[in-house]
Structures are given as C-alpha cells and as structure tokens.
Structure 1
C-alpha cells in the first residue's frame, strides 16, 4: 500500500513508545504502541496524540502531546476508546473508533451523537466483543483481533525436555476475579498439590490508577493474597514485558477465571503463545483465547476449574501435550497482521 498519514488519539495516560521498556503497561497502551510501530514499519507516516509529556519520535512514530491540538487532515484517524476524540481531525478520509471495553459502555446517546456527526467504523476485538455492541452499532463494526509482541511469539520456541515446576501464574487485572481465584486456589487446588505455587504479577501500577478510581479495591485483593503465603501464593510487583516473558514462560499453567469486561485478554494470549496451558471459565472473551482440551481447559464450574488446574500441575503428559499444541497453534498472529487490517480501513 502507498504510504498514508495515520493519526491515533488517546486520552488519560502519559506514555509513548519508549515506555514499554521503562514500566509495566496495560493491554490498551501496549496495543496502541505496537500497532503504531507496525504501521510505521510498513512505511506509513504515523502520529499518536496523547498525554505524553513532550514530543518525541521513536521507532518511526511521532508522539505528540494532545494539548497541542490534533491535525485537520489524515488518511486514517483512529480515536482510541474515547468517543469525545471522534470529533477531531475533521477532514480525515477514513475514521474509526477503537473500542477496548464492552460495547454496552458505548450504547449511550453521547456515542450515538458523535458517530452521527463523524461517521466511523467501530473496531472490536472478537466475537464476544462484537456481541456486546448495541444493535444500532453492529453495522459499523469491524473485527481486528490483537496480536502478540515478538518475544511472546519466539520465546520458548522449542519443545522442553522437562516439565516445569508446579508453578501457576496470574498476570491480569487484580479486580477481574482474582479474589475468586485466591479462594479456589486455597480451598480446592493447593490442598491437592501442597508443593504448588501461584505467582501473581499484577497491580494498579500497570493501569496508572489514582486513588478513588478503583485502586483501593485492587489493593485489598492483593493484600488478601499476602495472607495466603502458607498456601503457596507469591505476590510480585508488575514487571515490564521483557521480564514478564521469562516469568510466564517458566510457569506450568496460567489460571484465570475470565471477566465479562475482558474483550480480548492479552494476558491469556501471551501465555498461550509462550506454550503455557491455561485454565479459564467461559466468561467474557476467555474461551476465545483457549482451545478447550487442546491448549488448555475451559471449565464450566468452580470444581471443574480446580480439577483442571490440579491435572495440569501434576500430570506431565497432559501438560506436555498442551504445551506443544499451544506453541504450534497460538502464536501465529503478529502486529504486522494487525497493521494490515488497519490498512484495510483506508480502502473504499
């Protein structure tokens, strides 16, 4: 495709392309960085306007403080999450609203008004996400799933000679049913595998949350985890993606119930790409990330979830089969593929 001008806008957090190597990031932020850099690598002129502290160009992407004002023109303008940003770049040839939250949060008159004033495609992340949209928004929807960063597609690329230790991980938002997992772990899983450990790489720092925005709830759940050290629960501060690759790749399983607000769950996708089998329940997008009985277990209830976790922690043959299939089946899609999907938004 001929080089085009592509503008993204995001409001709320201070970050730019360099932030990936400096601090942990949530999936929304890391995804924006990844697709912007992939489009730039394909020869496009890419700018991201957000709450970064100062202008910088990094890996071909121009990062500009949003307070400096959006440009008037672009071949493609993408408002990330925020319907208010849809009104920017009035002469954009193509326009999209990139949703990350469930569609029921976009069903109000404010979204409807903005989309009437500035018609746009609505980017969703999968079938579950599309089904959360209000009926009037369905015709605008285009599905563009997220992808894996290269370390998650290439690390642990070979078949391991030995099974990893009995160590499970949780790397998602602590507000998304971590309290449930701690209860199931302490009551139903750990008693059957007393030498097993559950390592948590999770915390409000990833989301740059302020007091009064849900941070206290996260901290309460994490404090609960600290009381379960005698049950093998080990809490870590969130780590950058380069470190997280090694931590997750060395685990035997990822345990995550799922959540109705989880529209893609990059944490599960990353674990699967590293060859780590996952145990989930059919909640939100979780079952879209795990191939039941092949790369992990989609458990219908709490007891089946616990049994699946115990099996993966103790059954070397089961773990090995799911590990190999995860590496074979779950690491194909990269950010260059996502960039190509975004390019299609600019076609008539």
Structure 2
C-alpha cells in the first residue's frame, strides 16, 4: 500500500525529537511513518522539513516537493485543507489532535462533508464535543517513543516533582498550590518546571507580556524549591521524568493529547492530575496516578507521592507495566486494519 502523510506546521523530521524538544503531536506524526514502513508499506511524508531524507524506511519530502499522482491512503494531519493534498487517493484520513468542537467549524465541516475521510481521534474526550454526522471515526491508540519505554525509574533525593505543562495551562494555579500547601509538608522537595518560555525568562530573555506576571511568580518561588529547566530531546527528557517522584499535571479542558503525561507514565513516574481534557484517559486512577477532585486532594496526593517512597515505587511500576506494550508498531498495525 502507498501511504502519504502530510503536515503543514513547523519544521521537523523523524530525527528531531532525539536532539531537541518537540511537541507531542509532532512527535506522534514523526513516529507513525517508520512504523507503517516496517509493515511493508511504501510511505511518503510531506512537511516543512528542511530537505528530503530517508528515515526508518519512509521517504520524507519537503512540503513543496513533487507530490505523488495518486496514493492508496492520504493521512492529513490537523489541517482539513490537507485532505486535498493529493488529487487521487483511495482513502482519505484526517488525524485530529485538537478539541472535538473544532471539527464543527463551518469551513472544517464543509471539507469533511466533501471528502468523507476517516477521522482519527487521539482521545475519547474529543468525541464528546462533536457530532460525527455520518463520518467514520476511530480512536487511534497512542504510544510513546522508545526512550521513555527503556528508561528505569530512579527517584532522586531531595524528592522531586516535575511539571511539563504549557505555562498558560494551569501553571499559575500549581505554583500557588505548591507554595501554600505542598512544600510546607514536604520541605525538602523541589518542583522542576520544564518550560522554554520560563527558562528564557530565568536567563534574562524577553517574555510575552501576558506571561510576565507568571514568570515573575515562578522565579520568586525559587525560595520554595521551584527550579526552572529547559525542555530537552527525548533521551534527556526521559531521564528527567525517571528521576521525578511525581508528575504534577494541572491539565486544560482543551488538552486532548496530554502527550507528556503518557511519557511520564511510561518512564515509571506516577502522576497527580486534575480531571480536565484527556488527562483522565492517560492514567489508571488509584493505580498509576491520581485524579484529584479539588485543590486539597491534589496537594495531599502530591505530598504522599513525594514523601512515601513505597507508594511511589508501586504506582510507578504499574505505570510502566501499562505502557510497555504501547508501541508505534502497534499503532500502525491498528491503523493498517482500518485502511484495508
């Protein structure tokens, strides 16, 4: 089968995540072509990569490169207009990682109604926000890259919580909770905030106006064990997750991927989340992490995982067991079945 994948966002390729931080959606897109090629398919990828290259038996092409005249399956990533990237396609697929309600925008709906693609969703939460109206839809199981599956948990002393959320997705709330209710009960603990924006602020760089109050708050919280770090490529990021006692995940109603939450689970780091977006789908509540119903519960659970090593280790082991078989080869096999 000839399969064409197309993305029109930022420059990246199948090697990018190994050497630099990359968004979870982009990493998902970069992981699927090689897995499909390993099943014996001929795979072409078109995106904003800097030059054409052969990666894991898939051929990556620059976005404006020569398109195939036809393809058996066209997988358009995130932008509905990409469903028209190849004129003749045996099957068209739209891979959506955003909130479900975005699929009901008039222009998007018109494109979907015209081409009747198979909708690939990444979370059940997406399906609650839109009406399929005759479109076929499938929940594509998500996976993580090998670095997160191969790392071994090694919590550090002093105990460490990690947060990877976008600064605008609840970090202000979390820092307040850390200072008021978590750190006083775990006085040696550190909160490691991985954020490119805040790392730039810590180094004296410019910060967009809307995030300046938060940046100032985070830097002032250094006195309460808050440490700002730059996000890294998969190898170093998996090590950082493996060294944490708990992943604190404030969540956001529009976060349908929760990709770093999947990565921390695979690395054996239990989580405390707020039940927002798709976050509850990424953990097993009470087994690999906790979904906290309110601020007090979130703080109490965070303190427990920071101070009780036996609970932390047991939950981390369960998290690793849940994710160890979730590979991109398995995702590709599921998708292959839908494309036949």
TM-score over 0.5 for the alignment? yes
Shift of 1:204: 5.0
The equivalent position to 1:253 in structure 2, one of 235, 246, 253, is: 246
Secondary structure of the 1:327 match is helix
Does 2:150 match 1:154?
Answer: yes
Partner residue in 1 for 2:55: 58
Q: Is contact 2:33-2:43 (8 Å) kept?
A: yes
Partner residue in 2 for 1:210: none
Partner residue in 1 for 2:308: 315
Note closer, same or farther for the CA distance 1:155–1:224 as it changes in structure 2 (3 Å cut): same
The equivalent position to 1:43 in structure 2, one of 40, 43, 47, is: 40
Shift of 1:195: 0.8
Partner residue in 2 for 1:200: 193
Does 2:135 match 1:116?
Answer: no
The equivalent position to 1:30 in structure 2, one of 27, 30, 35, is: 27
Unmatched 5+ residue regions in structure 1?
207-213
- Counting matched residue pairs gives 333
Runs of 4+ residues over 3 Å off in structure 1:
136-139, 162-165, 214-223
Please show how residues 271-310 of structure 1 align to structure 2 within 5 Å. 271-310=264-303
Q: Is contact 2:158-2:188 (8 Å) kept?
A: no
Note closer, same or farther for the CA distance 1:288–1:299 as it changes in structure 2 (3 Å cut): same
Q: Is contact 2:156-2:244 (8 Å) kept?
A: no
Please show how residues 126-141 of structure 1 align to structure 2 within 5 Å. 126-132=123-129, 134-137=130-133, 139-141=135-137
Encode CA deviations 1:296-340: one digit per residue, 9 max, x unaligned: 111000110001001111112221221222222233211101111
Note closer, same or farther for the CA distance 1:187–1:100 as it changes in structure 2 (3 Å cut): same
TM-score w.r.t. the length of structure 2 is: 0.92
The equivalent position to 1:15 in structure 2, one of 5, 12, 15, is: 12
Shift of 1:100: 0.5
Encode CA deviations 1:152-182: one digit per residue, 9 max, x unaligned: 112117xx6x876410001232222111111
**In 2, Cα distance between equivalents of 1:229 and 1:203:** 17
Partner residue in 2 for 1:144: 140
Q: Is contact 1:272-1:331 (8 Å) kept?
A: no
Partner residue in 2 for 1:182: 175
Unmatched 5+ residue regions in structure 2?
200-206
Q: Is contact 1:203-1:218 (8 Å) kept?
A: no
Note closer, same or farther for the CA distance 1:337–1:215 as it changes in structure 2 (3 Å cut): farther
**In 1, Cα distance between equivalents of 2:164 and 2:134:** 31
Secondary structure of the 1:36 match is helix
Encode CA deviations 1:189-235: one digit per residue, 9 max, x unaligned: 111111110001222599xxxxxxx9654565344311210011100
Q: Is contact 2:69-2:88 (8 Å) kept?
A: yes
Shift of 1:145: 2.2
Note closer, same or farther for the CA distance 1:276–1:114 as it changes in structure 2 (3 Å cut): same
Note closer, same or farther for the CA distance 1:106–1:169 as it changes in structure 2 (3 Å cut): same
Partner residue in 1 for 2:228: 235
Note closer, same or farther for the CA distance 1:19–1:163 as it changes in structure 2 (3 Å cut): closer
Partner residue in 2 for 1:265: 258
Q: Is contact 2:116-2:135 (8 Å) kept?
A: no
TM-score w.r.t. the length of structure 1 is: 0.90
